[in-house]
A and B are shown apart, each in its own frame.
Chain A
Amino acid sequence: MKRSGMTGQRLAAIFLMGWLLLDYPILSLFTRSGEIAGIPLLYAYLFGVWVLLIALMALVIERMRN
Chain B
Amino acid sequence: MLQGSVIVLVSFAYLGVLFAIAYYGDKRSEAGRSIIANPYIYAFSLAVYCTTWTFYGSVGRAASSGIGFLPVYLGPTLAVALWWYVMRKIIRISKTYRITSIADFIASRYGKSQALGGLVTVIAVIGVVPYISLQLKAISGSFAILLHYPDIVMPAKVVARPFFQDTALYIAMTLAAFTILFGTRHLDATERHEGLVAAIAFESVVKLLAFLAVGAFVTFGIYGGFADIFQRAEESPRLQALTTLSNAGGSYATWSFLTFVSMLSIMMLPRQFQISVVENVDENHLGKAIWLFPLYLLLINIFVLPVALGGLMLFDARGVDADTFVLTLPMAQRKEALALFAYVGGLSAGTGMVIVETIALSTMVCNDLVMPVLLRQRWFRLNERRDASALLLSIRRGAITGILLLGYVHFRAAGEAYALVATGLISFAAVAQFAPAIFGGIYWKGGTRAGAIAGLSAGFAVWAYTLLLPSFAKSGWLPAEFLTGGPLGSALLKPQELFGLAGLDEISHCLFWSMLANIGTYVGVSLSGRAGVAEASQASLFVDVFRHTQGFERARIWRGSASVQDLLRLIGRFLGPDRAHEAFVAYARRRGLGSLDDVPADADLVQFAETQLAGAIGGASARVLVASAVHEEPPGLDEVMDILDEASQVRAYSRELEQKSRELEAATAELRAANTLLEELDRMKDDFISTVTHELRTPLTSIRAFTEILLDDPHMHPAERKRFLGITVKETERLTRLINQMLDLAKIESRSAEWHTTELDLNEVIRESAEATSQLFRDRNVALALALPQSGPRIMADRDRLMQVLINLLSNAVKFCPPREGRVEIRCSAVEGALRVDVQDNGPGISPSDHQTIFEKFRQVGDTLTGKPQGTGLGLPISRRIVEHFGGRLWVESDVGRGATFSFVLPLEAPAAAGGEPARKAAGTVE
Contacts and interface: CB of A to CB of B under 8 A. Distances in A.
Interface string B274-313: 0000000000000110110011001000100100000000
Contacts of B81: 11-12, 14-15, 18, 53, 57
Interface residues of B, number: 37
Interface string A1-39: 100100110011011001100111001100111010111
Interface residues of A, number: 36
Contacts of B80: 57
Contact of B255 (A18, A27, A37): A27
Interface stretch (B70-78, B148-156, B586-594, B855-863): B70-78
A37 B294 CA distance: 24
A50 to B, nearest CB: 5
B290 A12 contact: no
A33 B77 CA distance: 26
Interface stretch (B223-231, B411-419, B615-623, B741-749): B223-231
A12 B85 contact: yes
Interface in B225-262: 226-228, 230-231, 240, 243-245, 247, 252, 255-256, 259
A23 B256 contact: yes
Given A27-B255, A47-B298, A40 B74 contact: no
Contacts of B247: 31
Contact of A24 (B227, B243, B256, B290): B256
Given A39-B226, A54-B77, A31 B245 contact: yes
A12 B78 CA distance: 9
Contacts of B291: 54, 57-58, 61
Contacts of B288: 61
B294 A53 contact: yes
Interface string B69-99: 0100010011111111100000000000000
Contacts of B287: 61, 64-65
A11 B290 CA distance: 9
B77 A42 contact: no
Q: How would you classify the secondary structure of chain B's contact residues: helix, strand, loop or mixed?
A: helix
B255 A57 contact: no
B546 interface: yes
Contacts of A14: 81
Contacts of B245: 27-28, 31, 42
A38 B244 contact: no
Contacts of A53: 77-78, 81, 294
Contact of B227 (A15, A27, A38): A38
Contacts of B550: 1
B67 interface: yes
A35 B79 CA distance: 29
Given A22-B259, A38-B226, A38-B230, A43 B243 contact: yes
Nearest to A25: B252
B230 A33 contact: no
A27 B251 CA distance: 12
Contacts of B77: 18, 50, 53-54
A7 B291 CA distance: 13
B82 A37 contact: no
Contact of B82 (A12, A32, A54): A12
B230 A35 contact: yes
Nearest to A34: B244
Contact of A39 (B74, B79, B227, B240): B227
Given A22-B78, A31-B244, A37-B227, A47 B85 contact: no
Contacts of A57: 80-81, 290-291, 294
B675 to A, nearest CB: 45
B205 to A, nearest CB: 19
B252 A61 contact: no
Nearest to B226: A39
Contacts of A46: 67, 70, 74
Contacts of B74: 18, 22, 46, 50
A38 B231 contact: yes
A61 B295 CA distance: 14
B226 A8 contact: no
Nearest to A37: B227
A1 B546 contact: yes
A46 B68 CA distance: 11
Contacts of B231: 38
Given A18-B78, A61-B291, 10 more contacts: A1-B550, A15-B78, A18-B81, A22-B259, A27-B252, A43-B67, A46-B70, A50-B74, A50-B77, A53-B78
Interface of A: 1, 4, 7-8, 11-12, 14-15, 18-19, 22-24, 27-28, 31-33, 35, 37-40, 42-43, 46-47, 50-51, 53-54, 57-58, 61, 64-65
30 contacts: A1-B546, A1-B550, A11-B82, A11-B84, A12-B82, A14-B81, A15-B81, A15-B82, A18-B74, A19-B78, A23-B255, A23-B256, A24-B255, A24-B256, A28-B245, A31-B244, A33-B244, A35-B230, A37-B227, A38-B228, A39-B226, A40-B243, A40-B244, A42-B243, A42-B244, A43-B243, A47-B302, A54-B77, A54-B298, A61-B290
The 8 residue pairs across chains A and B that have the minimum distance between CB atoms: A38-B227, A40-B243, A15-B81, A57-B291, A24-B252, A58-B291, A8-B84, A11-B81
